[in-house]
Structure 1
C-alpha cells in the first residue's frame, strides 16, 4: 500500500486516507471510503484539487476484508464475530463459561505489523454476548502475507462452557448460629452456582466437627451425586490443620491449596475427593462482590482441575479491591 497525494482526476477508485470536512464544518467523507466519480465532484466543489489516498498493491487486502479473515482465524470454540467496520471486528462469547486465551498465539498475532488483538482477562467468567476480545487492523489495508500468517497461527480465544454440574452446599457452625449462617451464606452461594448453570442437589448444616464434616461430604457425593461441594462456616478456616480441612481429609479428600494470593479471598481452601472439587470458602463469599471464588468457580464447573499453581498464578491482578 502506498500513500499519495494525487489530482482529483485520478482519484476514482482510490481509498481516502483522511476525513474530509464539508462546507458546514461537519465530516462529509470518512477515511477508508473508496471514492466514486460523484465523490470526486463533491470534493472538487469544496475547492480541492488534490486528495490524499491509499493506493493498494496487488497483494493487499482491504481493512474490512482483512479484519474478517483475521477474526475468523483467532476465534475458537464458543466465539462469534461482529461484522467488520473500519477494520475492527469484536468477538463475543456464545455460551456461559470462562475465557481461554492462548498467550503465545496472542503475542505472535500482536507481533505482526498492522494487527492488534486485545482480550479480557484470561479465565474471566463470560455469558452469551459478552465481548471477550476486539481485533483492529492498523491502516487501510494489510499485505495478504500478514493475513495468512495469522491464519497459520490459528485460534487465540475460546470459551470453555460450563457443564450442568451437580453441586452441594455444606454449612458448619453452632446450633445457636445456624439461622444466621444460613441467612448470610446460602443466598450468595446459591446465586453464584445457579448463575453458572449448576444444579444444587443438597444443602446441609452440620456441627463444626471433623467427623460431622466428613460424613456430610461423603453423603453429598454418595447419596446426592454432588460433583462439586462448597463448604462455608460460622468461622473462616484459620489453618491448614483446622477442623474443616481435617474433615475433608477424613472423607478421603486431598488438600490442593490453603491460602490464595487474592484479596478478597486469602483464606480459600481447595481440595479434591476424586474428581469432585471441594471449596472451603473464605468469609467473603457472603458478599456478591467479586472474590477468589468467582475466579475459580467457572473453571471448576467447566470441568477443569484447578491446581495450586493455577491459584498462585492469580496473584497478578489478584487485588480485586482498592
Structure 2
C-alpha cells in the first residue's frame, strides 16, 4: 500500500487518510473515504492543494475484507460477529456464559503487522450481547500474505475465542463438621454459594449437613447423586489440607478422582477439584462463605458452563490470582497464612 501526500488533482480513486474540514472547521469528508471527482472539486474549492491518501497496490486487501476474513478464522462457539466497519469487527456473546480465549495464540495474532485483537480476560462471565472481543485492522489495507498468515495461525481444532453457555446444572451443597456447628455452617456457606449458582442459571437441590467423617461424606455424596445432582459442592468446619484428607478420601471412596488440589488464587488456595464421571465436585475453601471475590468466583461459572477444569487450567489462574483480601478470613493475608 502506498501512503503519503499527493496533489489534489491526483487524489481521485484514492483513500483519504485524514478527516477534512472546511474553513469554519466543519468536517466535510471523513477519513477512509474513497475520493470521487466531485470530492476533489470540493477540496479545490475549499482551498486544498494537497491531501494525504492511501492507495492499494496489487496483492493488497482492503481493511473491511481483511477484517471479515480474519474474523471468520477467529470465530468460535457462542459468538456473534458484527458486520465489518472501519476495519473493525466486534464479537458479541450469543448468550450468558463464560468467555475463553487462548492467550498464546492471541499474542501470536497480535504480533502480525497491522492486526489487533482485544478481548476480555479468559474466564470472564459475560451476558448476552456483551462485546467480548474487538478485531481492528490498523492500516487501510493489508498485504494478502499477512491475511493468509493470520488465517493459517487460526486453523486449529481449538477455537481461539468462544463463549460457553451456562447449563441448568443441579447443585447440592454438603457441609461437614461437628453437629453443634451445623446451623452456623448453613448460615455461613449456603446463601453466598447459592447466589453464585443462581447467577449461572443453576438449580439448587438443597444442603446436607454431616459429621466430618469419610464414610458420612461418602454417603451424603451418593445420596445427592441419587437425587439427580450433577454438581457437588463440599465445604465445612475445616478446609481440606491434603490430598489424603477426609474429603478426598471420601471422593475416592465413591469412585471419584481428584483432578487438582491447591490453586494459585488467594483468597482460595485450598481449593479441590474432583470428578465422579462427568460430575464435578468442588471442595470449597473457607473463603467461599464470603461474597467478596475469591477462587469460587473463578471456578463455579466454568463448571456451570460444563467446562472441565484440569490441573493445567487451574495452574494458569496464578496470573491475576492475587485478589483483594476478605474480612471473613480467620487469618488474613497480613499474618502470612492462607485460607
Q: Which position in structure 1 is the counterpart of 2:323?
A: 320
Q: Which position in structure 2 is the counterpart of 1:177?
A: 181
Q: Which position in structure 1 is the counterpart of 2:12?
A: 12
Contact 1:172 1:234 in 2 (8 A): yes
Runs of 4+ in 1 over 6 A off after TM superposition: none
Q: Which position in structure 2 is the counterpart of 1:230?
A: 233
In structure 1, the residue corresponding to 2:31 is in which secondary structure?
coil
Q: Which position in structure 2 is the counterpart of 1:66?
A: 66
2:304 is the counterpart of 1:301: yes
Q: Which position in structure 2 is the counterpart of 1:51?
A: 51
1:87-236 alignment runs, 5 A limit: 87-103=87-103, 105-152=105-152, 153-154=154-155, 155-221=159-225, 223-236=226-239
2:287 is the counterpart of 1:284: yes
Deviation per CA, 1:16-56: give whole Å up to 9, x if none. 11222332335443221222344333332332111111111
Change beyond 3 A, Cα 1:314–1:209: same
Deviation per CA, 1:104-123: give whole Å up to 9, x if none. 54344223221112222233
Supply the distance in 1 between the matched residues of 2:86 and 2:69 (Cα, whole angstroms). Answer: 14
Q: Tell which deviates more after alignment, 2-11 or 133-142.
A: 2-11
1:96: Cα distance to partner? 3.1
Supply the distance in 2 between the matched residues of 1:312 and 1:108 (Cα, whole angstroms). Answer: 21
Supply the distance in 1 between the matched residues of 2:29 and 2:123 (Cα, whole angstroms). Answer: 42
Deviation per CA, 1:108-159: give whole Å up to 9, x if none. 4223221112222233333322322111111111123322333343352122
Q: Which position in structure 1 is the counterpart of 2:257?
A: 254
Q: Tell which deviates more after alignment, 252-261 or 224-233.
A: 252-261
TM-score relative to the length of structure 2: 0.85
1:317: Cα distance to partner? 2.0
Change beyond 3 A, Cα 1:206–1:22: farther
Gaps of 5+ in 1: none
What root-mean-square deviation, in Å, do the aligned CA atoms of Structure 1 and Structure 2 show? 2.4
Supply the distance in 2 between the matched residues of 1:208 and 1:22 (Cα, whole angstroms). Answer: 79
Contact 1:99 1:158 in 2 (8 A): yes
In structure 2, the residue corresponding to 1:177 is in which secondary structure?
helix
In structure 2, the residue corresponding to 1:86 is in which secondary structure?
coil
1:239: Cα distance to partner? 4.1
Change beyond 3 A, Cα 1:187–1:37: farther
Gaps of 5+ in 2: 326-339
Across the two proteins, how many residue pairs are aligned to each other? 321
Q: Tell which deviates more after alignment, 118-127 or 260-269.
A: 118-127
In structure 1, the residue corresponding to 2:183 is in which secondary structure?
helix
Deviation per CA, 1:249-274: give whole Å up to 9, x if none. 44343333322111121111222223
In structure 2, the residue corresponding to 1:247 is in which secondary structure?
helix
Contact 1:61 1:143 in 2 (8 A): yes
Change beyond 3 A, Cα 1:206–1:112: same
2:273 is the counterpart of 1:270: yes
In structure 1, the residue corresponding to 2:185 is in which secondary structure?
helix
TM-score relative to the length of structure 1: 0.89
2:248 is the counterpart of 1:245: yes
In structure 2, the residue corresponding to 1:235 is in which secondary structure?
coil
1:59: Cα distance to partner? 3.1
